[in-house]
Structure 1
Amino acid sequence: MYFERTGPSPIDQLLNRSESTSGDDSPVTLRDFLEETDIISECRAENRRLLEYLGTSKALEELASIVIMRVDTTPTRTPPGDDLGPLEPYRIPSIASEILASEVDWLSERIVSTRSVQTLFFDYLRAVDPGRLDHNIGSLMAKVLSALLRSKHEMFLSHFEDLDDALYPVDLILKHVDCSPLAEVLIRMIDGADVMRSARGSEESPVSISGMEIFNACNIFDLLSKRFLACLSARVDGVEVGG
């Protein structure tokens, strides 16, 4: 027999508590939301109250910090029968990345316009030495960056143009190009935002003029060659690059 759920969902209950001024309940934190199993579905269903909560600069910065594990990401509870084993520490960062990569239009625009997510990601890449990047974190960051490039392509790339060094983010990604998901971000940069279907039914992405201009300006093929030779030299010397 099917029983329809009545009353507010767990997410709505948290939102109600976060908006309460009675002081009877303990303060609601972003982690409380991330521990709820329906957080992603509620986000993609465009729960407006939830999006407004997640779309604040403070929440976006915290989500990005969780993705790069700058804060404690140990789950306070694990769904029964859903232990991820050695990947369990990445459970909460993975959920945070799914929210940032949800491609909900309003939220994506907030992420790109506040720029805090991109800044935290690029600062993280700058601080990590080549070959020392945690590839799980790299994959989560790449998921978010690729999603933003798909949904807000030109708006995202305009952030590069406003930097003192517009080529800086490209250099950082190239620094960790041995992490294949990040390498795919470079490809996504020259893909257009929309996907066109050809007469044969295949999908073809128009080339992004802005992306190509950035690549041409930084002489990307020369940089890729230098990075490849550096990796090759390290391997010849008996040092394993990447992981």
Structure 2
Amino acid sequence: MNYLIVDDEPLARARLQRLLQNHPHWHKLGEASNAQQALQLSVTLNPQVVFVDINLPGHSGLELATELRAKLPSLHIVFVTAHPQFALAAFDVFAAGYLVKPLSEEKLAAVLLQLSAKEQQTQAKLSASIKVQQGGVLTWVAVADILVAQAEDKYTRIYTQTNQMLVDNSLKSLLQDYPHHFIQVHRQTLVAQHAIEFVQSKDGQHNIKVRGITPLFPVSRRAYSQLKAK
């Protein structure tokens, strides 16, 4: 698991880093002392977890979490703070954990274990396959290979780098089951987050290019604003 530490106190960052070094499968990508640095590093490095203090100069940790959630929906946010009274507000922004200073090694270990289990579940889902009926033959397609899914009448057309096919799965169910893989760019279209090449706007129309697929796909105005902010 890759992570960032965000705290304006160097001693607090060092303390958390020492505790995390006891967990060999956790790797630090960087650290930040304020919300702006944290946001820039998160977008650039794409960590799996960010440990965030509540009290930060400028934007608070809660405000930072709201921005991170909008830009990186799959990111796990863990608050590390001296203020227990903000716990309910933290979970309003879907915090994955809330640790109160001084840090308890046991409580930190419990949060890390929970996050590792969630990540394993996510990876297991992405390694799953969905059923496809093609020419009377039943086959399976790995979710990780699906680059685009588009609503088409009562079915959904999925695109891989080499093929197109119809499946019974709705867009809603695909997005709900695999939120770390897909992002909705239009009410009729999902695309794989990792396969986005670029987003363009021309004559008031917004489109997205997906790696390995020739046609451009339409993007709603709302989705365009969110994608450009990333």
TM-score of the aligned structures, taking structure 1 as reference length:
0.28
Structure number with greater CO (CA < 8 Å, separation at least 6) is 1
Structure with the higher fraction of residues in helix conformation: 1
TM-score of the aligned structures, taking structure 2 as reference length:
0.29
